[in-house]
Amino acid sequence: MIESMQASPVARVIISISAMLFAGFAMTRITKRFRLPNVTGYILAGILMGPCCLNVIPQTIIDGTDFLSDVALAFIAFSAGEFFKVEVLRRNGAKVIVITVLEACLASVAVFILVYGVLHLELSFSIVLSALASATAPASTMMTIRQTGAHGDFVDTLLQVVALDDVVGLILYSVAISVAMASKSGSMQLSTVIAPILANICVLALGALFGVMLKLFFRKRSKDNRLIVSIATLFAFCGICAMADVSPLLGCMSMGMTYINLTGDEKLFRQLGYWSPPILLLFFVRSGLSFNLGALTDTLGASGSVPLLLVGILYFAGRIVGKYAGAYLGALAVGKGKGVRNYLGLALIPQAGVAIGLAVQGSLSNLAGGVLILLLKPFKVGDYIVEGSSGKEGTVKEIQIFYTKLLTYDNQTIILPNGNLANNTIVNVTAAESRRCDVKVSIAYSADIKKAKEVLTKVLSEDPDTIKEREHFVFVDELADSGINLCVRCWFKNEDFWQGKWRITEQCKYALDKAEIEIPFPQMDVHMR
List pLDDT tens digits, range 33-90: 876 667 778 888 988 888 878 888 887 788 777 777 778 878 878 887 887 788 777 7
Give pLDDT, residue 488: 94
Give pLDDT, residue 268: 87
- For the stretch 101-145, pLDDT in tens is 899 899 999 989 998 888 887 777 788 778 878 877 655 555 555
Q: How confident is the model at residue 410 (pLDDT cuts 50, 70, 90)?
A: confident
d(CA 76, CA 138) in angstroms, rounded, equals 7
Beta bridge partners of 427: 386
Give pLDDT, residue 132: 76
Query: Which positions ≥6 away from 296 have C-beta within 8 Å?
Result: 307, 308, 309, 312
d(CA 404, CA 398) in angstroms, rounded, equals 6
Average pLDDT, whole number, for the chain? 79
Q: Of the ranges 87-91, 180-184, 408-412, which one carries the lowest mean pLDDT score? A: 180-184
**151 pLDDT higher than 80:** no
More confident residue, 107 or 420: 107
Phi, psi of 107 (to 5 degrees): -65, -45
Q: What do you get for the CA distance between the two ends of the chain, in Å?
A: 56
Q: Of the ranges 155-169, 304-318, 345-359, 417-431, which one carries the lowest mean pLDDT score? A: 345-359
Mean pLDDT over 164-179 rounds to 71
Model-level pTM? 0.59
Give pLDDT, residue 369: 63
**230 pLDDT higher than 80:** yes
Give pLDDT, residue 186: 57
Give pLDDT, residue 383: 86
Mean pLDDT over 211-220 rounds to 83
Angle (CA) 39-43-47 rounded to 5° is 165
Question: Where do the DSSP E strands lie in 228-372?
Answer: 299-300, 306-307
- The domains of the chain, with CATH numbers, are 2-49 (no CATH), 71-233+250-361 (1.20.1530.20), 378-428 (2.30.30.60), 435-514 (3.30.70.100)
Q: How confident is the model at residue 167 (pLDDT cuts 50, 70, 90)?
A: confident
**254 pLDDT higher than 60:** yes
In 3-state terms, what secondary structure has residue 427? strand
Give pLDDT, residue 357: 46
- The CB-side HSE value for 305 (13 A sphere, CA atoms) comes to 4
Mean pLDDT over 485-514 rounds to 91
**528 pLDDT higher than 80:** no
**464 pLDDT higher than 60:** yes
Of the chain, the percentage scoring pLDDT greater than 70 comes to 78
Give pLDDT, residue 360: 45
Give pLDDT, residue 340: 78
Amino acid at residue number 114: L
Amino acid at residue number 39: V
Give pLDDT, residue 184: 57
Phi, psi of 257 (to 5 degrees): -65, -40
**261 pLDDT higher than 80:** yes
Give pLDDT, residue 501: 92
d(CA 456, CA 505) in angstroms, rounded, equals 10
| CB 398 within 8 Å of CB 381 | yes
| CB 330 within 8 Å of CB 103 | yes
**508 pLDDT higher than 80:** yes
Q: Of the ranges 50-64, 198-212, 370-384, which one carries the lowest mean pLDDT score? A: 370-384
d(CA 8, CA 14) in angstroms, rounded, equals 10
For the beta carbon of residue 136, count every other beta carbon within 10 angstroms. 31
Q: Of the ranges 201-210, 252-261, 304-313, which one carries the lowest mean pLDDT score? A: 304-313
Give pLDDT, residue 358: 46
- For the stretch 448-461, pLDDT in tens is 999 999 999 999 99
Give pLDDT, residue 346: 74
Q: Which among 177, 171, 170 has a CA at the least distance from the CA of 192?
A: 177
Give pLDDT, residue 253: 85
**526 pLDDT higher than 70:** no
Give pLDDT, residue 113: 93
Q: How confident is the model at residue 374 (pLDDT cuts 50, 70, 90)?
A: low
